[in-house]
Amino acid sequence: MRFSEPQQYLFLIFHSSFHCLIHLFTLISPFNTFTPHICPLSSSGFKVGVKAPLAELHLTFALTQHDPDGLETLLEKVSAPTSPSYGDYLSLEEVSKLVQPKYEVENEVRGWLKMHDVTNCDSVVTRDFLVCIVSTSQEAPQMIQYTRPVSCPSFHPTVGGVHRFPRRRELTVDHPSVSKEQGGNDSLVGKGKGPTRQHADFHLGVTPAVIRARYNLSSSAVGRHPNSSQAVAQVGCDSIFMGLFGKSFAHLSSVARVVGPDGGLHAGLEASLDIEYVMSTGANVSTWFWSTPGLRKGQEPFLQWLVTLSNMSSLPWVHSISYGDDEDSLSAVYMQRVNREFMKAGLRGLTLLFASGDDGAGCKEMSKERNVFRPSFPASSPFVTTVGGTTFSNPFKVTEEVSDYISGGGFSNVFAQPQYQEEAVKKYLASGSLPPASYYNSRGRAYPDVAALSSNYWVVANLLPIPWVSGTSASTPVFAGILSLVNDNRFQLGLPSLGFINPLLYRLPSLGHDRALFDVTSGCHLGCLDEQTQLQGFCARPGWDPVTGWGTPNYPALLHALSRPLSRQDR
């Protein structure tokens, strides 16, 4: 994403208590990059200075929410299929009543800011964010200085460090091939729970027709309900794509709404991929672009999107997001606050899908003798649905799938394993050979949850057809589009939206819906290049695994499984 005007963004957190922390999460500047550091504070006041002619500094203050623990408890009640409150979602106004800070908190923060001439501030509907704009001077030094206020009895601000926003998932453009890790052994593919139907369709890359053939989406599998909606957190679109690849099914030729700057015909490859495949898979479903100005060199104002969610009462039901960052590069305070924003979305019945990443298990060198796997966030959040990647066993035919060696997956080092996945993960860990236990936290949140094709896509960007585009940025909008079609059917039946789907998703096999997803049972993803793992991370196995989750969508069976009210016996 590009800046339309020079802008800078800063995210701070306020904990209103006797020991209040202002935590600097990120500084985004179009002119320079800031190195993470710890900045000691003086007691002379709050000063901001940035060498940025005619620029504005955007400060986002996250105020302490009321009863954050109650958010998670309530989310479990509305998301767990065994709960009597399943599907009883809240409005934005009802969520606001749960989280909005005490009046004294916001008033005190505004007063402190006013002392330092920061007065151009707006709150959001939920009252737990303040967004302030500070004009910068041309003569100011090329730095940010934070100093402690001389009098503020209820909080003591300190700067905890500078962190990046999650980066975009990188796409690759290459020639289709079968990797050594994937093996390509057709006799091993599809021997798990899913159907093992073999297609003979020849193709030169993944298109909407290939997606529909593989995942059993007929020409009639399109959205019809006026309440159906979906979104991608991206910019831009290329209308030529639907003209080339959307002739066999009903579809919309333009987006319903753009939130933020519109990239138009200057949209990049990432933006084009996201919107083209969410609109062609979730065909005929009203689609929004969610665009936020970003930083060069790959950093993105991810939190700006979350802040906007807290300020809009009407939102798309399904969101596809292809951003992430290394879990260990972000502060725990930042990730916990982002998780609470995910909970707020789930309470409103929204479904958030994130790409699992394109680095396999990831790898971090701890010392010359020791490496560990490196999980990604928000993929590792317990409150989103994470999508991994697969590829065809034969890259030129619509065959069964094997895991894509780039598919991100593993175990969080920060978040505990949620109860909804404990049984599935336990079975995987007991199912066979694994990487050395010192490389991962077997008790952490395990991901991905599901998967879809992630290699060799056709994309139209800036009027130009581009073949063989790969990455979990491709699989995520595909799965999001399919869930949009499920939502559409649920609305026709008078059922609520899917919302936070993981608790239900992990129960499907025990409810007899073991064919709702094609089980991917072959292939491994990347690990560390060392003697212990020899570039191999985890491997796909029958059932859930940390490479492809539960597998890829078998639309008719998945639609049946997710579009029926649960009986008392099922609950």
The 3 state secondary structure assigned to 128-165 is: CEEEEEEECCCCCCCCCCCCCCCCCCCCCCCECCCCCC
Q: What is the DSSP string of 1-65?
A: ---SS-EEEEEEEE--SSS--B----EE-SS--PPP--B---SS--------TT-EEEEEEEEPP
Band of residue 89 on the pLDDT scale cut at 50, 70, 90: very high
pLDDT at residue number 61: 83
Per-residue pLDDT of 23-73, as tens digits, reads 333 333 222 222 222 223 233 333 444 444 456 777 788 888 888 888 999
Beta carbons of 480 and 353 less than 8 angstroms apart? yes
Q: Which amino acid is at 395?
A: P
Query: Could you count the other beta carbons within 10 Å of the beta carbon of residue 332?
Result: 11
**Is 69 annotated to bind ligand?**
no
pLDDT at residue number 198: 36
3-state secondary structure of 552: strand
Tell me if the pTM is above 0.75: yes
Beta carbons of 448 and 407 less than 8 angstroms apart? yes
> Which is more confidently placed, 347 or 173?
347
Of the candidates 106, 181, 274, 488, the residue annotated as catalytic is 274
First to last CA, the chain: 45
Band of residue 186 on the pLDDT scale cut at 50, 70, 90: very low
User: Which of 240-254, 350-364, 494-508 bottoms out in mean pLDDT, i.e. has the lowest?
Assistant: 240-254
270 is catalytic: yes
> Which is more confidently placed, 161 or 404?
404
> Which is more confidently placed, 294 or 493?
493
Residue 201 has phi, psi (to 5 degrees) of -65, 125
- Residue 10: pLDDT above 50? no
Burial profile 377-390: b = 16 or more Cβ within 10 angstroms, e = fewer: bbbbbbbbbbbbbb
- Residue 179: pLDDT above 90? no
pLDDT at residue number 242: 62
Structure tokens at 149: 């206020």
pLDDT at residue number 173: 53
Of residues 504, 496, 566, the one with CA closest to residue 90: 496
Per-residue pLDDT of 128-153, as tens digits, reads 988 888 876 533 333 334 333 434 43
**Is 520 annotated to bind ligand?**
yes
Q: Where are the beta strands (DSSP E) in 421-493?
A: 444-447, 450-453, 457-461, 464-470
Of the candidates 270, 276, 359, 488, the residue annotated as catalytic is 270
Per-residue pLDDT of 292-330, as tens digits, reads 655 433 334 577 788 888 899 999 999 999 888 899 998
User: Which of 19-33, 172-186, 289-303, 368-382 bottoms out in mean pLDDT, i.e. has the lowest?
Assistant: 19-33
- Residue that has been written with the tokens 């998932």 in this structure: 169
Residue 541 has phi, psi (to 5 degrees) of -145, 165
Of residues 345, 321, 351, the one with CA closest to residue 483: 351
Strand order in the sheet with 376-377: 167-168, 323-326, 376-377
User: Which of 228-232, 252-256, 340-344, 550-554 bottoms out in mean pLDDT, i.e. has the lowest?
Assistant: 252-256
DSSP state of 127: S
Long-range contacts of 302-307 (CB under 8 A, 24+ apart): 302/165, 302/166, 302/233, 302/338, 303/11, 303/25, 303/26, 303/60, 303/165, 303/338, 304/9, 304/60, 305/233, 306/338, 306/341, 307/60, 307/124, 307/129, 307/131
pLDDT at residue number 64: 86
CB burial class (10 A; 0-12, 13-18, 19+) of residue 45?
middle
Of residues 407, 412, 278, the one with CA closest to residue 339: 412
CA–CA separation, 456 and 32 (whole Å): 36
Band of residue 517 on the pLDDT scale cut at 50, 70, 90: very high
pLDDT at residue number 350: 97
pLDDT at residue number 464: 83
Burial profile 100-120: b = 16 or more Cβ within 10 angstroms, e = fewer: bbeeebbebbbebbeeeebee
Structure tokens at 34: 């800031």
CA–CA separation, 353 and 257 (whole Å): 20
pLDDT at residue number 258: 84
CA–CA separation, 60 and 121 (whole Å): 9
Positive or negative torsion for Cα 240, 241, 247, 250? negative
Of the candidates 473, 475, 484, 563, the residue annotated as catalytic is 473
3-state secondary structure of 71: helix
pLDDT at residue number 298: 38
- Residue 375: pLDDT above 80? yes
Per-residue pLDDT of 534-544, as tens digits, reads 999 999 999 99
> Which is more confidently placed, 134 or 157?
134
Tell me whether the omega of the peptide bond preceding residue 195 falls within 30 degrees of 0, making it cis: no
Dihedral through CA 197, CA 456, CA 562, CA 252, nearest 10? Answer: -120
**Is 519 annotated to bind ligand?**
yes
Give 96's strand partners: none
